[in-house]
Amino acid sequence: MDEQMEAVLRAEQVSVSYSGSTAVKNVYLNIPRNRVVAFIGPSGCGKSTILRCFNRMNDLVAGAKMDGRITFNDVDIYDSSVDPVDLRRQVVMVFQKPNPFPKSIYENIAFGARINGYQGDMDELVERSLQQAAIWDEVKDKLKDSGLALSGGQQQRLCIARAIAIQPEVILMDEPCSALDPISTLRVEELIKKLIENYTIVIVTHNMQQASRVSDYTAFFNAKATETGGKMGYLVEYDRTENIFHNPQQQATQEYVSGRFG
């Protein structure tokens, strides 16, 4: 890993447990600015859990507990002085299943901006966000229509537009394409590559081709069975994506990326 790269998010010795059982243990990870980082690994390896620590969405899960330290621009985000609501404006999240609000396309974009006290011209912000999310041409004549009337792929790009409307620094994506068809997936991937000029993106994916196509860095997580019958995730290897796929240092990584398990 190039150490000179400026890290936006930094995880140090992060462990997360749900109601006392450890879900993922001892993760060290730096997310470099204006890059795409992909988290890959089998189910239950804790990649989504780690992602949800970056904007403290895990706070909303009853029984979730995090140990270790995560910094955003060198500020400890679990410090008592940091308000998670404020953090989530800067580290936004796009979910696995497109979840537009059951409101108009316009309102979907305007909601986040409005609640965060946006002072500028709302029409202009809506147009710019939809353009950045490469969906403007498809929806510009029906901004008053419900967001739910769009196709799944369009809904997901609407959710991305909604996320960038509040001008965050980091966009966390939790398997954003797993509910989409291949063509919609391709469009979202193109969008990710374009967004990287202005944003930092962390993407969890089950699709290894997707990781190799869109990401600059890849973190491979694996899971091992615990005595209690559960699973505990851990970070196996984190490197430039081409290294992970073509020259992995760990045998587990080699086996996973070549499709021998997972």
102-141 residues near other proteins, rule: CB under 8 A: 102-103, 111-112, 115-116
Interface residue with other proteins, options 17, 34, 73, 99 (CB under 8 A): 99
262, 249 Cβ separation under 8 angstroms: no
Q: How far is the CB of 159 from other proteins (least distance, A)?
A: 7
Q: How far apart, in whole angstroms, are the C-alpha atoms of residue 31 and residue 38? A: 10
50-89 residues near other proteins, rule: CB under 8 A: 55, 57, 60, 62, 85-89
Strand order of the sheet with strand 75-76? 75-76, 64-72, 7-18, 21-32, 231-240, 217-225, 36-40, 200-204, 170-174, 91-94
Interface residue with other proteins, options 16, 45, 93, 192 (CB under 8 A): 93
55 vs 218, beta carbon nearer other proteins: 55
Helix-strand-coil split of the chain, %, nearest 5: 35, 30, 35
Show the tokens assigned to 246: 């073509």
160 vs 236, beta carbon nearer other proteins: 160
Q: How far is the CB of 80 from other proteins (least distance, A)?
A: 18
CA dihedral 32, 37, 42, 44 (to 10 degrees): 60
Interface residue with other proteins, options 97, 128, 206, 240 (CB under 8 A): 97
Give the number of residues in contact with other proteins, rule: CB under 8 A. 29
Q: How far is the CB of 87 from other proteins (least distance, A)?
A: 8
Show the tokens assigned to 98: 């497109």
Task: Tell me which amino acid residue 206 is.
Answer: H
Stretch that binds other proteins, among 92-100, 133-141, 186-194, 218-226 (CB under 8 A): 92-100
Q: Quick one: how far is CA 200 from the chain centroid? A: 9
Q: How far is the CB of 102 from other proteins (least distance, A)?
A: 5
150-209 residues near other proteins, rule: CB under 8 A: 159, 162-163, 166
Q: How far is the CB of 75 from other proteins (least distance, A)?
A: 16
1 vs 61, beta carbon nearer other proteins: 61
101 lies in the binding site for other proteins (CB under 8 A): yes
Residue whose C-alpha is closest to residue 40's, from 256, 260, 261: 256
β-bridge mates for residue 14, sequence order: 27
Q: Which residues of 161-177 are buried (b: 16+ CB within 10 A; e: fewer)?
A: bbbbbbbbbbbbbbbbb
Strand, coil or helix: 253? helix
Interface residue with other proteins, options 18, 95, 118, 234 (CB under 8 A): 95
230 lies in the binding site for other proteins (CB under 8 A): no
Interface with other proteins (CB under 8 A): 55, 57, 60, 62, 85-90, 92-95, 97, 99-103, 111-112, 115-116, 146, 159, 162-163, 166
